[in-house]
C-alpha cells in the first residue's frame, strides 16, 4: 500500500497505516531498530531561540503525536503559582491580576529548580531550591512636568502602565550565586499587567514553581507545538497555456511554476495549504491528484522563551523514554 493519503473532492482516503506484520506479502514490517535507524530522517529547516521548523521523516503517527502531546503538556517549566497581595488599590481585582501574572512566561531554566512537595505545610513548602520569588511594587503619581494640554496617561502620570518588566527578582538564599549569571526576567518585558491612576498602587510578592502544561497552560513551555503532513501534488495530465495560469492561481504563491513550454509544474508542494481549490474546477478533473505523505511530519515548535525549541523537543523524547522505562520497572499486579 502506498504511504500517500489521498485527498479528493469531498473525502480523504487511505488514512490508516498498514505497516504491520502479516498485512501484506511484501516486507515483513516487523519492528527493527536498525531498519528504523537507516530510514528515519530529521531535516531542520529553521531554528532560533523562539521557534523551530523541522521534519521528521519515516516515523509513525503515534510517535510524532506523542512528542507533540508531551511538548505541550508534560515538559516542565516555571511559572507564578502563588501571589501574595500586600496592597492593591487598582481597579483590577486581586484574582484577575494574579492570573495575569501567572501567564507571564519567565526566563528560568527549569532544571535549576526542584519540585515543590505540596504535602508539606505552608512554612516548609518553599525553599531556595524549588521557588523563585518575584515582587511587584508600583505606585502611580502625577507627573508635574507634563504639558498642560496633554491627554496621554503615560505622560500625564508616572507608572500609569504596569508591565511584566516591573516584576523584580528577589534571590533567596543560595540563589544569589546560582542565578548570578542569569537573573530571572520575563521573556517578554512588554506584557501589560495593569493600568493605574494617581494614588493607586500595587504591592505583591509572587512565588514561582515548577509545573506541567497538563495542570495549567501557564506551565506549558510552548506557545504552539504542531505538525502537518507534507503535501503532494501529482499532475497526471499536462496542463498548458491559459489553463496552466488558472491552475497556478488555485495554489498559494510558489507552489506551481510554469516552465518554458507553458506547462504547469510543481515547484514546491511544501508551501501548499491543501485548500483543495483546484478540485472545484471542472477543467482540472482527472488531471491532478492531491495527497499528503503519511510518514513525513513537518513540525512547528514555538517556545515561550524559557527554553530553546530543540531543548523542548529533546525533553519530550526523554520523557517518553522515561515513561516506558518506568512502566517496565513496575511489577505487574494482580487485581
Partner 1 sequence: MSVQDKKVTSDSEDVDMTKDETVNTAEQIKENVKEAEEEDDEEEEEEDQIDREKIKILPQATSEDGTCASFQILEEDHTLGNPLRYIIMKNPQVEFAGYSIPHPSENLLNLRIQTYGEITAVEALQKGLDDLMALCDVVEQKFTDEIKQL
Per this entry, what is the length of the chain? 335
Interaction between residue 180 and partner 1 (CB under 8 A): no
- Name the H helices within 88-198: 94-102, 122-125, 153-156, 175-178
Interaction between residue 49 and partner 1 (CB under 8 A): no
Estimate the crossing angle of helix 61-73 against helix 309-329, to 10 degrees.
Answer: 110
Interaction between residue 121 and partner 1 (CB under 8 A): no
Under rule CB under 8 A, which residues in 123-162 are in contact with partner 1? 130
Strand partners, 226: 300
Euclidean distance between CA atoms 16 and 27, whole angstroms: 18
> 307: Cβ–Cβ under 8 A, 6 or more apart, which residues?
75, 77, 109, 110, 221, 315
Interaction between residue 44 and partner 1 (CB under 8 A): yes
Which of 79, 114, 51, 315 has the alpha carbon at shortest distance from 186?
79
Euclidean distance between CA atoms 48 and 41, whole angstroms: 20
Interaction between residue 43 and partner 1 (CB under 8 A): yes
Which DSSP state fits 148? T
Q: Are 283 and 264 a contacting pair, CB within 8 Å?
A: no
To partner 1, the closest distance from the beta carbon of 21 in angstroms equals 4
Interaction between residue 295 and partner 1 (CB under 8 A): no
Interaction between residue 42 and partner 1 (CB under 8 A): yes
Interaction between residue 40 and partner 1 (CB under 8 A): yes
- Chosen residue from 7, 70, 106, 288 binding partner 1 by CB under 8 A: 70
Among the listed ranges 5-13, 111-119, 249-257, 280-288, the one in contact with partner 1 (CB under 8 A) is 111-119
Residue whose cell numbers read 525533553: 315
Interaction between residue 314 and partner 1 (CB under 8 A): yes
Interaction between residue 310 and partner 1 (CB under 8 A): yes
Which of 225, 217, 103, 123 has the alpha carbon at shortest distance from 164?
103
Euclidean distance between CA atoms 215 and 211, whole angstroms: 7
Among the listed ranges 228-236, 244-252, 277-285, 308-316, the one in contact with partner 1 (CB under 8 A) is 308-316
Strand 168-170 and strand 132-139: pairing? antiparallel
- Chosen residue from 6, 53, 66, 258 binding partner 1 by CB under 8 A: 66
- Residues in the interface with partner 1 (CB under 8 A) total 55
Residue whose cell numbers read 497581595: 85
Under rule CB under 8 A, which residues in 234-253 are in contact with partner 1? none
Among the listed ranges 56-64, 139-147, 171-179, 271-279, the one in contact with partner 1 (CB under 8 A) is 56-64
Interaction between residue 111 and partner 1 (CB under 8 A): no
To partner 1, the closest distance from the beta carbon of 34 in angstroms equals 9
* Residues at the site binding partner 1, with contacts judged by CB under 8 A: 19-22, 28-31, 33, 36-37, 40-44, 47, 54, 56, 59-60, 62-63, 65-66, 69-70, 74, 114-119, 130, 310, 313-314, 317-318, 320-321, 323-335
Amino acid at each position: 500500500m502506498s504511504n500517500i493519503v489521498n485527498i479528493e473532492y469531498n473525502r480523504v482516503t487511505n488514512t490508516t497505516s498498514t505497516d504491520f506484520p502479516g498485512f501484506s506479502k511484501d516486507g515483513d514490517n516487523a519492528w527493527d531498530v536498525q531498519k528504523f535507524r537507516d530510514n528515519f530522517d530529521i531535516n531542520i529547516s529553521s531554528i532560533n531561540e523562539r521557534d523551530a521548523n523541522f521534519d521528521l521523516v519515516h516515523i509513525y503517527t503515534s510517535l510524532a503525536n506523542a512528542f507533540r502531546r508531551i511538548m505541550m503538556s508534560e515538559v516542565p517549566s516555571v511559572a507564578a503559582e502563588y501571589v501574595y497581595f500586600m496592597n492593591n488599590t487598582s481597579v483590577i481585582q486581586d484574582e484577575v491580576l494574579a492570573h495575569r501574572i501567572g501567564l507571564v512566561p519567565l526566563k528560568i531554566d527549569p532544571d535549576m529548580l526542584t519540585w515543590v512537595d505540596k504535602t508539606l505545610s505552608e512554612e516548609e513548602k518553599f525553599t531556595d531550591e524549588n521557588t523563585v520569588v518575584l515582587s511587584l511594587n508600583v505606585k502611580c503619581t502625577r507627573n508635574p512636568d507634563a504639558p498642560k494640554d496633554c491627554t496621554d496617561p503615560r505622560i500625564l502620570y508616572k507608572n500609569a502602565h504596569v508591565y511584566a518588566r516591573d516584576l523584580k527578582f528577589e534571590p533567596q538564599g543560595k540563589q544569589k550565586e546560582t542565578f548570578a549569571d542569569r537573573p530571572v526576567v520575563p521573556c517578554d518585558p512588554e506584557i501589560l499587567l495593569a493600568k493605574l491612576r494617581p494614588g493607586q498602587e500595587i504591592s505583591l510578592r509572587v512565588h514561582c514553581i515548577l509545573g506541567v502544561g497538563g495542570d495549567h497552560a501557564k506551565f506549558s513551555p510552548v506557545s504552539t507545538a504542531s505538525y502537518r503532513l507534507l503535501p503532494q501534488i501529482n499532475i497526471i495530465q499536462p496542463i498548458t497555456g491559459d489553463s496552466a495560469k488558472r491552475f497556478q492561481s488555485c495554489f498559494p504563491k510558489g507552489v506551481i511554476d510554469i516552465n518554458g513550454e507553458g506547462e504547469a509544474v510543481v515547484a514546491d508542494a511544501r508551501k501548499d495549504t491543501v485548500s483543495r481549490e483546484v478540485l472545484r474546477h471542472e477543467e482540472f478533473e482527472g488531471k491532478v491528484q492531491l495527497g499528503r505523505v503519511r510518514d513525513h511530519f513537518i513540525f512547528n515548535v514555538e517556545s515561550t522563551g524559557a527554553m530553546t525549541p530543540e531543548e523542548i523537543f529533546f525533553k519530550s523524547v526523554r520523557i517518553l523514554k522515561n515513561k516506558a522505562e518506568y512502566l517496565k520497572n513496575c511489577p505487574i499486579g494482580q487485581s
